[in-house]
Every structure is written in C-alpha cells, then in structure tokens.
Chain A
Amino acid sequence: MTQLPETTERKLGLVIDLDTCVGCHACVVACKGWNTENYGAPLSDQDPYGTPSGTFLNRVHSYEITPKEGTAKLVHFPKSCLHCDDAPCVTVCPTGASYKRVEDGIVLVNEDHCIGCGLCAWACPYGAREMDAAEGVMKKCTLCVDRIYNENLPEEDREPACVRTCPAGARHFGDLGDPDSDVSQLVAERGGMDLMPEQGTKPVNKYLPPRPKDVLDEVDILAPLLATPETAEHRNLSGFLGWLDRTLEKI
C-alpha cells in the first residue's frame, strides 16, 4: 500500500555525527557486504575492473566548508535513506511495492512487486534509492531489518551493519519517536538537524553538526622567559623548611 501511515508506533532511524565521522567508508563496505549476502536481491557491480559502477545503499561524500574567518574544514558526510515520515518515494509508487511500516517506520521495497520504473528514485531528494542494473528492481536501505530483529544473532549485532562497524562511533541507531531514547537525547543535546527541510519530507534520520573547533588563548612565545622567577615568598613554605628556604634565599 503506497499511502503513508498517519503515524508509526516507533521511528527507528540513524543519528549520524558529522563531528566524529572520519570518512573511512567502513559503513559503505559493511552495508554492501551485508545487503549483498542477505535480504533481497544482491547489490550488483557493473564492470568492476574497468570503469566501475554499482549499487550502494550508503555513500560517503566529503565537503569543504570555508567559514567567514579562519581555515577551511573538511566534513565527511555519510548518506543513506532517511526513512522520512512524509516519504515522497512511497506515495509515487504505482504498484504498492514501496511502503512505510506502521510498527517501526522503516521504508521498504517489496522487490517481487517492483516494476523498476524508477519514479521513487526521482521522488527522493537525497539519492537514497538506486536501481540495481542487474536485477532491474529498486534497492534501498532497509535499516538492516534482517539484523535488528534477528534472534539468531548475538544481541550486540542486532543493529544496522553500518552502525555496528563504524570505528569512530559516528553512527547511532535507535527510536527517534521516543524522546527518552539515547538517540533522541543525542539529537536534543547536539542540535540534530534535517537535510533539505524545505523539501518537506520530515526525515527521521538526523545529522549532528560538527562541534566548534577548540580555540587556544593567545600565548606569547616568550612566556617561559618572561615568567616571574620563583621566590621563597611565592613558595610560602611553613615550619623549618620555610625558615631554611627564606634564609638560603637571603644569602
């Protein structure tokens, strides 16, 4: 059914910390690996040893930001499906293959019903959906729906592959519909933001902006030489040691 649910019981999604992401692309590789070996059609590559292209559900961009003052900085920017509340990709689907789950808000594609028209990819402002060139069906992030509820996996592995693998801890998974959840707290604390809010998609995934860089106070390079020499008065020792200190200083 391609009509969106009024509300979802939970809003499972990711919080991505642009401050800590180091741009290693481990999440990209973990995503491709898991989603090629498990749920749905594998993510194919075309001409991998020539001029390669392939299907990815998670891609890491890098942006240079030049502030008004100070030096430019580099921000690595992982991007995958944002599991929008108002997902335009779902409502445009003519076959009912695309849907948003009421129980957890995950946006999925029923690959057996997908005709591969590509309209949902056109409707997505984030480039989260990619048509697989080998299978002719639309692929997208499933939030590793086959991991997070999978009781055959150890409990610590029941989170999306990208989150599990991130060596910098830049990706967080949880229920963004619950204001008390860790991810919601993180969003509140760090000012989590929506991408392209003007598109009206109401994304569930949030991005944490980079923290301001530490600023050192102005320090004179001659400081060690200019420092006042220590005196017995400064040391202010008491008792016998104090008497000795003061006496020796006088000599």
Chain B
Amino acid sequence: MHPAPSIILFTSLSGLGFGLLFFLGLGYPQPTGWVGFVFFLIAYFLAAGGLLLSTFHLGHPERAWRAMSQWQSSWLSREGVCAVAALVVMGLYALGLVFFDSAWQPLGWIGALLSLATVGTTSMIYGQLKTVPRWNMLPLTPALFLSLSLAGGALLAGQVTWATGLLVLAALVQVAWWVLGDKALVSSGSDLASATGLGAIGDVRAFEPPHTGTNYLLSEMVHVVGRAHALKLRAIAFGLGFVLPVLFLLLPFNHLWGVLAVLAHVAGVLVSRWLFFAEAEHVVGIYYGKR
C-alpha cells in the first residue's frame, strides 16, 4: 500500500493523543489550572490535529462531515463518531479541571473509554480489509494499535511504571505482528490461480498489463519501493520505539530522559507506521503479477 504521509502522521499522532486522553480521563495524572491546560493542549494538538491531517488525503474534504452518517456498517464512520464524542466529552472534563479545579470523574471515565474506542475503530479500518492480508489479522492489528497508543499515552502522561510495562507489551505485539504478517499473504489463499480462475489449466503468469502506463490502482496499492529495506527499518523502529524509551525510563528519573524517551518513541512509531503501509500487500497486485 502507498504510504501516504498524511495517514501515517494521522494514525501515529492521534493514537498518541487519544492514549494521553485515556490516562488523563482516568485521572493519572489529574492536573489542574495551567498545568492541566498544557496537558490537554498537547493531547488535543495530537488527537484533533491528527484528525485534521487525515482530511488532507480526501478528494473532497469539504464533505467530510458526511462521514459521520454510516456508523452502522462502516468502521471509518464509527471512528469519526467516536473521535468527536471523545473530544467533546474530554473537553468538558478538561473544562472542570482547568477552570473550576474540580474533576468531574464520570465524564473522565466515559471520555477515557471513548478515546480507547477511537483507537480501536481506527485499527479496524485496516483490520477489516480482507484484501490486505497483512492487516486482516484479528485481533492482532487492533492489539498493535491499542498497545502502541496506550504505551505512548502513558509515556506522555508521565506514568513511568505503566509506560515501561506497556512499552514491553507493545514491543511483543509488534514483533508478533511482523512475524505473522510475513506469512499472511500466502496463507490468505489468494494467488494468480484463484484471481483468474485459470489455475486448473496450468501455471498462470501475468503476460501483459492492461495499459503501458501506470494507474491509480498501482500507485495506491502496489508499493514496492520501501520493502527493499524493510528489515533495517524494522530494527530502527524497534530500537527507537521500544528499546531506547525503556532504557531512558529505567534510568533515575529526570525530565530530560523523559523528553528523550517520548521523542525516540514517537520517531519509532512513525517508522513502524510507515512500514505498516509500505509492507502491506493488496491482493489486486496479483492481477498485475506484482505484490
């Protein structure tokens, strides 16, 4: 799949933002006044900024409001509904903390749940697609998004113990996702024989593409460039995203280590998310003899 920068930034940043909102909603930490304002500003900058970024890849962003309507069938629609609900509820909770110095806790709990649900729905947009076997690993893909979001959220919220544990958990899920993902296309059963239905006659080979030029399908769904360095990039993503932050957290606490842990983690998540798209094979590539 084509790794569009707007979607990579959106899923990574909003994942972190909603993760932070989750911990803020639960009351870990429960900052008031100016400190609270800064905490919520960061969370909203990441969560809502990410959402805004995601509209940049739309053909018609001005119609984006329509995307709220089909929550009964569409995970993308559910994501929109959950995101707006989470931002509104957490906004009210933040209002209490920042301006009235009081925690309206039920709102926080609801907001935390909605924040988590938003990340879950985002992951299902990808997890539901049978056409991309590497993403269609349930419940592993939602587990990956949720564990990354929670680990990043705990890190941003300054919950050192939780962050360490969740980073280790996310690292394990990430490795499992990579290892199992490498077998997903083959075990999906889709190949040129099933795609053409001609496998019973003999070995099928793509002889001639429909056009000499490229097309939307190839540029959107058959991305091969990034895979050449996939292994090196996985190592970089793992080192930055999990190993370095955990090391920084294990050092005696210092705000500088905290900031470095966050920066390393965000960079690692961005690389991991880039690979999430670049490595994913769409079955339509089979028709073109590519993957």
Taking Cβ atoms with an 8 Å cutoff, the residues of A that contact B are: 1-4, 18, 28, 51-56, 59-68, 72-75, 77, 79, 88, 90-97, 113-119, 121-127, 130-131, 133, 135-138, 193-200, 207, 209-210
Contacts and interface: CB of A to CB of B under 8 A. Distances in A.
Interface in B115-143: 125, 128-132
Interface string B186-201: 0011101011111011
A96 B201 CA distance: 41
A64 B197 CA distance: 13
Contacts of A96: 66, 69-70
Contact of A137 (B60, B195, B206): B60
Contact of B189 (A79, A94, A198): A198
B141 to A, nearest CB: 14
Interface stretch (B28-36, B74-82, B259-267): B74-82
A123 B192 contact: no
B210 A61 contact: yes
B76 A94 contact: yes
Contact of A196 (B66, B283, B288): B283
Given A63-B206, A131-B220, A198-B189, A125 B131 contact: yes
Decide if the interface of chain A is mainly helix, strand, loop or mixed.
loop
Nearest to A90: B73
- Among the interface residues B1, B68, B69, B206, which one has the most CB atoms of the partner chain A within 10 A? B69
Contact of A195 (B64, B131, B197, B200): B197
B195 A94 contact: no
Interface stretch (B148-156, B170-178, B211-219): B211-219
A126 B72 contact: no
Contacts of B200: 209
Interface residues of B, number: 61
A127 B217 contact: yes
B41 interface: no
Given A65-B202, A121-B220, A207-B197, A135 B59 contact: yes
Given A64-B205, A65-B203, A113 B63 contact: yes
Contact of A199 (B69, B209, B283): B283
A195 B77 CA distance: 29
B63 to A, nearest CB: 5
Contacts of B288: 61
Given A52-B213, A127-B284, A195-B196, A67 B59 contact: no
A116 B60 contact: yes
A115 B128 contact: no
A119 B201 contact: no
Given A92-B76, A123-B129, A199 B60 contact: no
16 contacts: A54-B213, A59-B210, A61-B209, A75-B196, A88-B130, A95-B67, A95-B70, A114-B60, A114-B63, A121-B220, A135-B59, A195-B196, A196-B283, A198-B188, A199-B131, A207-B197
Contact of A136 (B59, B67, B209, B211): B59
A92 B129 CA distance: 9
A126 to B, nearest CB: 7
B27 to A, nearest CB: 33
A160 to B, nearest CB: 18
B194 A65 contact: no
A36 to B, nearest CB: 16
A94 B251 CA distance: 46
B61 interface: yes
B223 interface: no
A72 B198 CA distance: 13
Nearest to B78: A94
B287 interface: yes
- Among the interface residues A66, A125, A198, which one has the most CB atoms of the partner chain B within 10 A? A125
Given A123-B129, A124-B131, A131-B216, A94 B202 contact: no
Contacts of B273: none
B191 to A, nearest CB: 9
A28 B60 contact: no
A65 B273 CA distance: 38
- Among the interface residues B67, B72, B203, which one has the most CB atoms of the partner chain A within 10 A? B67
B203 to A, nearest CB: 5
B231 to A, nearest CB: 26
A213 to B, nearest CB: 10
B130 A200 contact: yes
Interface string B225-258: 0000000000000000000000000000000000
Given A115-B66, A117-B76, 19 more contacts: A56-B211, A61-B288, A62-B207, A65-B201, A67-B202, A94-B74, A95-B69, A122-B132, A125-B131, A126-B284, A130-B215, A131-B59, A136-B59, A196-B283, A198-B194, A199-B130, A199-B131, A209-B200, A210-B198
Contact of A119 (B73, B76, B188, B206): B76
